[in-house]
Structure formats: C-alpha cells, structure tokens
Amino acid sequence: HPMTVQRIADLILSADPEAKHYDATAAANAGVDFTVWMEYERIGLDADDAWAEKGWRFEVDRYTKTEFDPVADLLEDVLSTAEGVTCGHRVLYDISNGYIRHVFDCEGI
C-alpha cells in the first residue's frame, strides 16, 4: 500500500507515542527530550506521466539530553525495518542547549 502521511505517523508513534507533527515548541522551551517530524516532499515512481506509486520524503528529529537515548534507538529500529522506508541517521550536538539531535532523513514509498 502507498506511503501516506498517516502511515508515517503510525510508524513514528509506535516508537514514540509523544512525537509531534510539525511543532514541538513547548517541549523545546521546557528543555525536555522530544521527537518532532514532518513530511516535506512528495515522491513516487513515474509511469505514463502519472504517479504509479506515491510516497513522501520525511524527517524525524529526536532531541535528547540522554547520551544513549532508548527512544532514538527505537526510532532507528522502527524506521530501518519498515517496509518501503529507507532512512539515513545523523547525529548532531548543540553545545548551547545541551541537546543531542538524532536526524532520520527518510523516504517512504
């Protein structure tokens, strides 16, 4: 079945039921660990000048102050084993606020 925004949400929420779609400002302002995600580009396989299979590029960001964050590990497990999903995983650190940022840049078809 096609990769819908709802299917992406279901995958992410299975790893972190508290994940936010688009906006996690309140969690960021509170300085707590949080996950935020968004779909950002429609993709698909082309056939006869029409989408044969539709999907999305989407990004999941896990902001944590926990060095070995179990939610980041769970997100990686869920996203790397989901049918039709491919993901890269980068890690960044922001010294100004102490957040470790796990960036999952994904495509789902």
What are the pLDDT digits (tens) for 24-68? 999 999 999 999 999 999 998 777 777 678 899 999 999 999 999
Distances (CA, A) of 9 to 12, 37, 93: 5, 9, 25
Contact 64, 103 (CB under 8 A): no
Of 105, 102, 104, give the one whose Cα is nearest residue 33. Answer: 102
Q: According to the model, what pLDDT value does residue 107 have?
A: 97
Q: According to the model, what pLDDT value does residue 109 have?
A: 92
DSSP 27: H
Please state the rounded mean pLDDT for residues 85-98.
Answer: 97
Q: According to the model, what pLDDT value does residue 89 have?
A: 98
Q: According to the model, what pLDDT value does residue 90 have?
A: 98
pTM of this structure: 0.93
Q: According to the model, what pLDDT value does residue 48 have?
A: 72
Q: According to the model, what pLDDT value does residue 8 have?
A: 98
4 token code pair:
């819908």
